[in-house]
Amino acid sequence: MEQPEQIRAMRESFARGENSVSPLALRWQALHETAQEIAAMAALAREPFTKELAGFPARVADCGENRAYFVERGLNDIDAMLQPGLTALRLIASRGSDTTAPALALWREFYFARAGLLAMCPASGAVTLAAAD
């Protein structure tokens, strides 16, 4: 995953129209930046932004409108969970208290919610539970 300075430069170049990246890809990246901050508060190692993770927005475009709709809703739900949780963690940290346990609980919620989204539009060769769309 890029450093914050690289991410900032990337976003600025997108805003100028120098690259064409979908809004979903930007949201996906921002979601993972938030998750990395939570992981740090949980004393977890940085999670690599693997090809499977990075390629998810492109797979969403190929998996059909119905699944894309539910992925969008799922992203909204994850963000609605993470933002107040992160705010609470920052408050806990500002008081000098240990954030490890609550951050770990929030990170696990993120991890399993993200796994659900990834399963909706899996990488080629990945096993899925249902192929109905």
Q: Show me where the domains of the chain are located.
A: 22-120
pLDDT band at 11 (very low <50, low <70, confident <90, very high): low
pTM (predicted TM-score): 0.76
pLDDT band at 9 (very low <50, low <70, confident <90, very high): low
Distance CA 25, CA 76 (A): 14
Angle (CA) 43-47-48 rounded to 5° is 155
In total, the chain counts a number of residues equal to 133
Distance CA 110, CA 72 (A): 15
